[in-house]
Amino acid sequence: GVDPEVVSYIEAGYQKLQSDATCHSLLKKHLTKEVVDKLKNMSTPSFGSTLKDVIQSGVENPDSGVGVYAPDAEAYTVFADLFDPIIEEYHGGFKRTDRHPPCRALGDPNQFGDVDPEGKYVVSTRIRCGRSVKQFPFNPNMTEEHYKQLEELVSGTLKDMSGELKGTYYPLTGMTKEVQQQLIDDHFLFKEGDRFLQKANACRYWPTGRGIYHNDSKTFLVWVGEEDHMRIISMQKGGCIREVYGRLVNAVNEIEKRMAFSHDERLGFLTFCPTNLGTTIRASVHIKLPKLAAGGQEALQRVADRFQLQVRGSAGEHSEAVGGLYDISNKERMGLTEFDAVSKMNHGIAELIKMEKELE
């Protein structure tokens, strides 16, 4: 059975969220009394993860947008009564009975062009996907040894990359604070001390096993050991989605020849956060739209909602826009193909630019 202290935490967490008028997370909305009572005594077969492990990030951070993480892959099934409605709401109506497309469908990158050929609005374009390496558990169940093995496996595999993908692995262990901060400021490296991840027990043994691989021009990068085991990233200045997506497709194909990833028949690629399931694709632009953003980020988000796009600040999630620079990306990642996820960003950004021009 589940430890009574864990059950108390879950019940108190429920009360805390319900009585907090400032909290608007999907966790608060979907963690009903019925769900609490049904799930509070459940645990996953392989790791014994509980509902506490799922909700604690959102309970301790009431300003979460979502508020849940999957402590292990089985959590998506055992705690489906909580995850499924959150998934449905986040991913534009992906229902309990829906299935993510069976195979990844990267499509033909040459179907895309430059979303801002004049180079007036889009500063840079980035497309990333996340992967969980099959033989390792998710963050909260990783041992220090697992982190070291993960790093060795990924950095070893990436030694095989050639051409444009050829690069070097830089472990966080031993990296100077100056180099680390410069990489973060330049939008290449994940931040440190993310309180949402910390409360989800995703930052244990930091910086062990964490690091970044990149080519010399920093257009192809791989994050190791952060929120997911791997984040595969392609980015460059300007709005040429064709080149950015083409590089990502090439990289994913090369990496998948050499490694096996956790994948589920219904949910697609498995990730630590339910917002990343399915394709795991976040295709974004860094963009300046001074007219559309005149009313601030919330006003811009309302316009972006029409195209199912998500607005973030200049330094990514939970950050502010500096100098009018916004990060706008596809929001949904499940129930559509990788190609369609990128297409939605492409289409929505083209429309936003059209609207911006009409206001000039």
Q: Which stretch binds ligand CIR (CB under 6 A): 65-73, 124-132, 138-146, 239-247?
A: 65-73
Quick check: 65 binds ligand CIR (CB under 6 A)? yes
- Show the site string, 288-327: x = touches ligand ADP by CB under 6 A, - = not: ------------------------x--xxx---------x
Q: Which residues partner with 352 through β-bridges?
A: none
Which uninterrupted H or E stretch holds 168? strand 167-171
Task: State phi, psi for 317 to the nearest 5 degrees.
Answer: -55, 140
Residue with token string 């000039």:
360
C-alpha–C-alpha distance, residues 59 and 67, integer Å = 7
Cβ atoms 143, 152 nearer than 8 A: no
* Known catalytic residue at 333: no
Sign of CA dihedral 189, 192, 194, 197: positive
Quick check: 35 binds ligand CIR (CB under 6 A)? no
Q: Which is nearer to ligand ADP, 66 or 80 (CB)?
A: 66
State which of residues 126, 229, 242, 344 lies at the interface with ligand ADP (CB under 6 A).
Answer: 126
Among ligand CIR, ligand ADP, none, what does residue 57 contact (CB within 5–8 Å per kind)? ligand CIR
Of the residues 164, 192, 254, 317, which is catalytic?
Answer: 317
Quick check: 343 binds ligand ADP (CB under 6 A)? no
Assigned token pair, 323 = 């100098």
Burial class of 192 by CB neighbour count within 10 A (0 to 12, 13 to 18, 19+): middle
* Rounded least distance, CB 139 to ligand ADP, Å: 14
Quick check: 2 binds ligand ADP (CB under 6 A)? no
Cβ atoms 212, 221 nearer than 8 A: yes
The closest residue (CB) to ligand ADP is 316
- Show the site string, 158-187: x = touches ligand ADP by CB under 6 A, - = not: -----------------------------x
* Rounded least distance, CB 298 to ligand ADP, Å: 18
Q: For the sheet containing 167-171, what is the strand order?
A: 167-171, 211-215, 220-224, 230-237, 122-131, 282-288, 325-330, 309-312
State which of residues 44, 64, 125, 219 lies at the interface with ligand CIR (CB under 6 A).
Answer: 64
* Known catalytic residue at 312: yes
* Rounded least distance, CB 329 to ligand CIR, Å: 9
CA distances from residue 164 to 41, 168, 187, 215 in whole angstroms, order as listed: 51, 12, 20, 7
Residues that bind ligand CIR (CB under 6 A): 57, 64-67, 196, 273, 275, 317
Please list the active-site residues.
128, 227, 231, 273, 275, 282, 312, 317
